[in-house]
Amino acid sequence: MNPLRDRFGRPAPLLLRALTLLALCGLALQLAFLGRIALLVVVDPQSTTFQRSEAWRLLVQTRRLAWSQEWVDYDRISPHPKRAVIASEDASFADHAGIEYVYRVCSFLPLIGLLTVFLPDLRKPRAA
Protein backbone atom coordinates (compact mmCIF):
# COMPACT_ATOMS: atom_id res chain seq x y z
CA MET A 1 0.00 0.00 0.00
CA ASN A 2 1.30 3.44 -0.98
CA PRO A 3 1.85 5.60 2.14
CA LEU A 4 0.88 8.74 0.19
CA ARG A 5 -2.55 7.35 -0.70
CA ASP A 6 -5.42 6.00 1.35
CA ARG A 7 -7.03 2.62 0.72
CA PHE A 8 -9.25 4.10 -2.01
CA GLY A 9 -6.32 5.54 -3.98
CA ARG A 10 -6.94 9.14 -2.94
CA PRO A 11 -4.09 11.29 -1.60
CA ALA A 12 -3.60 10.73 2.13
CA PRO A 13 -5.14 13.37 4.43
CA LEU A 14 -1.74 14.14 5.95
CA LEU A 15 -0.27 14.88 2.52
CA LEU A 16 -3.21 17.12 1.63
CA ARG A 17 -2.89 18.96 4.93
CA ALA A 18 0.84 19.48 4.40
CA LEU A 19 0.32 20.80 0.86
CA THR A 20 -2.54 23.04 2.03
CA LEU A 21 -0.39 24.39 4.85
CA LEU A 22 2.47 25.04 2.45
CA ALA A 23 0.14 26.90 0.06
CA LEU A 24 -1.34 28.95 2.91
CA CYS A 25 2.13 29.86 4.19
CA GLY A 26 3.13 31.01 0.70
CA LEU A 27 -0.04 33.06 0.40
CA ALA A 28 0.50 34.60 3.85
CA LEU A 29 4.06 35.56 2.89
CA GLN A 30 2.86 37.21 -0.32
CA LEU A 31 0.15 39.09 1.59
CA ALA A 32 2.74 40.26 4.13
CA PHE A 33 4.91 41.62 1.30
CA LEU A 34 1.91 43.29 -0.29
CA GLY A 35 0.89 44.85 3.02
CA ARG A 36 4.38 46.18 3.64
CA ILE A 37 4.55 47.72 0.17
CA ALA A 38 1.06 49.23 0.58
CA LEU A 39 2.12 50.69 3.92
CA LEU A 40 4.98 52.55 2.22
CA VAL A 41 2.39 54.63 0.36
CA VAL A 42 1.36 56.35 3.59
CA VAL A 43 4.32 55.84 5.95
CA ASP A 44 7.87 56.91 5.15
CA PRO A 45 10.37 54.21 6.10
CA GLN A 46 12.70 55.07 8.95
CA SER A 47 15.64 53.86 6.89
CA THR A 48 16.54 51.60 4.02
CA THR A 49 18.69 48.49 4.12
CA PHE A 50 21.52 50.40 2.46
CA GLN A 51 21.28 53.21 5.01
CA ARG A 52 21.38 50.75 7.90
CA SER A 53 24.40 48.94 6.46
CA GLU A 54 26.24 52.23 5.91
CA ALA A 55 25.36 53.43 9.41
CA TRP A 56 26.73 50.17 10.82
CA ARG A 57 29.91 50.51 8.72
CA LEU A 58 30.45 54.07 9.95
CA LEU A 59 29.79 53.06 13.53
CA VAL A 60 32.33 50.23 13.34
CA GLN A 61 34.97 52.34 11.56
CA THR A 62 34.68 55.62 13.48
CA ARG A 63 33.10 54.46 16.77
CA ARG A 64 30.47 57.19 16.39
CA LEU A 65 27.41 57.68 14.25
CA ALA A 66 26.81 60.97 12.47
CA TRP A 67 23.79 60.31 10.30
CA SER A 68 20.74 62.35 9.43
CA GLN A 69 18.09 62.33 6.75
CA GLU A 70 15.01 64.30 5.78
CA TRP A 71 12.26 62.92 3.58
CA VAL A 72 10.97 65.24 0.86
CA ASP A 73 8.10 64.92 -1.58
CA TYR A 74 8.96 63.31 -4.90
CA ASP A 75 7.92 66.46 -6.77
CA ARG A 76 10.51 68.52 -4.87
CA ILE A 77 13.38 66.36 -6.14
CA SER A 78 15.12 67.55 -9.28
CA PRO A 79 14.85 65.19 -12.27
CA HIS A 80 18.66 64.96 -12.45
CA PRO A 81 19.23 62.86 -9.30
CA LYS A 82 16.23 60.74 -10.26
CA ARG A 83 17.82 59.91 -13.60
CA ALA A 84 21.20 59.41 -11.93
CA VAL A 85 19.74 56.78 -9.61
CA ILE A 86 18.09 55.03 -12.55
CA ALA A 87 21.30 55.23 -14.57
CA SER A 88 23.29 53.72 -11.73
CA GLU A 89 21.00 50.69 -11.87
CA ASP A 90 20.55 50.43 -15.62
CA ALA A 91 21.84 53.10 -17.95
CA SER A 92 19.22 52.47 -20.61
CA PHE A 93 16.27 51.96 -18.23
CA ALA A 94 14.76 55.38 -18.89
CA ASP A 95 14.89 54.80 -22.64
CA HIS A 96 13.31 51.34 -22.68
CA ALA A 97 10.34 51.03 -24.93
CA GLY A 98 8.67 48.14 -26.61
CA ILE A 99 8.40 44.43 -26.26
CA GLU A 100 12.02 43.82 -25.22
CA TYR A 101 11.32 45.64 -21.96
CA VAL A 102 8.25 43.46 -21.37
CA TYR A 103 10.38 40.34 -21.86
CA ARG A 104 12.98 41.62 -19.43
CA VAL A 105 10.39 42.43 -16.76
CA CYS A 106 8.67 39.08 -17.22
CA SER A 107 11.96 37.24 -16.81
CA PHE A 108 12.10 38.46 -13.20
CA LEU A 109 8.53 37.47 -12.42
CA PRO A 110 8.28 33.69 -12.90
CA LEU A 111 4.50 33.39 -12.90
CA ILE A 112 4.03 36.34 -15.22
CA GLY A 113 7.00 35.07 -17.22
CA LEU A 114 4.86 32.14 -18.28
CA LEU A 115 2.69 34.64 -20.14
CA THR A 116 5.57 35.44 -22.50
CA VAL A 117 4.37 32.44 -24.53
CA PHE A 118 1.66 34.75 -25.88
CA LEU A 119 4.06 37.57 -26.83
CA PRO A 120 5.42 37.88 -30.38
CA ASP A 121 8.69 36.17 -31.30
CA LEU A 122 11.43 38.80 -31.58
CA ARG A 123 13.75 36.49 -33.52
CA LYS A 124 11.53 36.59 -36.59
CA PRO A 125 12.40 39.36 -39.04
CA ARG A 126 9.80 42.09 -39.13
CA ALA A 127 7.92 42.67 -42.34
CA ALA A 128 8.75 46.03 -43.89
Domain ranges of the chain: 1-39, 45-71, 73-128
pLDDT at residue 69, rounded to an integer: 78
Quote the mean pLDDT of the chain. 77
Segment 68-127, tens digit of pLDDT: 778 888 899 998 988 888 777 666 655 656 666 766 676 666 666 566 666 666 666 655
- pTM equals 0.41
Segment 22-50, tens digit of pLDDT: 999 999 999 998 998 888 888 877 888 88
Secondary structure in 3-state letters for the chain: CCCCECCCCCECHHHHHHHHHHHHHHHHHHHHHHHHHHHCCCCCCCCCHHHHHHHHHHHHHHCCCCCCCCCCCHHHCCHHHHHHHHHHHCCCHHHCCCHHHHHHHHHHCHHHHHHHHHCCCCCCCCCC
